[in-house]
Amino acid sequence: MKRPAALLLLTFLLLYAHAAPASEIYGLGGVVHSVDPDDLSYSWQLEYRQDLHRHFAAGVSYLNEGHFKGHHRDGYTAQLWTRAELFDYRLTVAAGIGPYFFLDTTTNTSPSGFTDDHGWKAMFSGAATWHLDNNLLLEVRSNWVKGHSGFNTVSALAGIGYHFEPALEPLDRKNEQRLDNEVTLLFGQTIVNSFDSPRSIAAELEYRRRLTRHLEWTAAGLYEGDNRLVRRDGLLTQLWVAQELLDDALSVGAGAGLYFNLGHYHSPFQGTGARHFLSGVVGLTGSYRVTEHWSVRATWSRIVTSYARDTDVLLGGLGYRF
């Protein structure tokens, strides 16, 4: 599972290699239809999109495809968009395409009754966005997820977004004021990707280093708690692409890396008791600077395993920048 995470990160780096003139954040919800199995479910999506040119943009997003019989699937995508402006920029219509890395909890005949399936598909999107006077955006969108492995879906979503204007302050002045190091203590919960979704308390101590304007590196110690399906703790190392907004008060980012498992619990379902030392991790993060040195941060990480013990780790905490 490490190669898919690395490929997604490489795509992110290519898309965000330079400062963008403007950017947008969206939250969307709606319905999704699967052809095989023929079923309907809910769907929701979070996306960050930034301009590359007047008629081109790049976006990264998380898509949850709901719960079908025998399948709980979600995933991450990076897309290139082309768009046209209508009615004096009040309305934009756009089309996007990109790779979709999916994570699907499926039923099987093992004693645990489930496994975690991972793979690649293509995602095609069409969107229409109405621009309001206060930088708010109203968007309707459809996503087509297609590929050879797993089932294909079509979703219809609607939601709200926000348009961030480009920063006017010179970049050299911003760099002089930058605090490149951050230590953060976070607490939250671990959710196992099974059909019962057992939960446990989680905690993390993270060091974050800004390498360039849009690239960060983190090293962290993670405790995932004990919910009987997973009792795991270990070390994380990740690379993140990041974008600062609102005059650097707000930062959003997406990352991928490796999880070194130092200790874990195997349920009786696994039987062999074999150790699984290395897994992949992908994640989304956001922070808000409260003062010059203090900030609050939220992180959503997905531990991607090869032994059907994927987890979502949702954390929030207080960080110190220096």
pLDDT tens-digit profile, the chain (322 residues): 445 555 555 555 555 555 556 899 999 999 999 987 789 999 999 999 999 988 999 999 999 999 998 899 999 999 999 999 999 989 999 999 999 999 999 988 776 788 999 999 999 999 999 999 899 999 999 999 999 878 999 999 999 999 998 755 544 555 556 789 999 999 999 999 998 889 999 999 999 999 998 899 999 999 999 887 788 899 999 999 999 998 889 999 999 999 999 875 555 454 444 567 899 999 999 999 999 999 999 999 999 999 889 999 999 999 999 9
**What is residue 7's predicted lDDT score, i.e. its pLDDT?**
55
22-164 belongs to CATH 2.40.160.20: yes
User: Which stretches does DSSP call E strand in the chain?
Assistant: 23-34, 39-53, 56-68, 71-86, 91-107, 114-131, 136-146, 153-164, 181-192, 199-212, 215-226, 231-245, 250-263, 278-289, 294-304, 311-321
For residue 165, the model assigns a pLDDT of 81
Q: Of 237, 234, 222, 236, which is closest to residue 190 (Cα–Cα)?
A: 222
Domain boundaries, the chain: 22-164, 173-321
Residues 216, 238: Cα–Cα separation, whole Å: 8
Q: Could you tell me which residues are beta bridge partners of residue 51?
A: 57
What residue spans of 200-258 are helical by DSSP H? Answer: none
Structure tokens, 118: 């991972």
Domain 173-321: assigned CATH number = 2.40.160.20
Residue 272 has a pLDDT of 45
Global confidence as pTM: 0.88
pLDDT at 37: 78
- 25: helix, coil or strand? strand
Domains 22-164 and 173-321 share a fold: yes
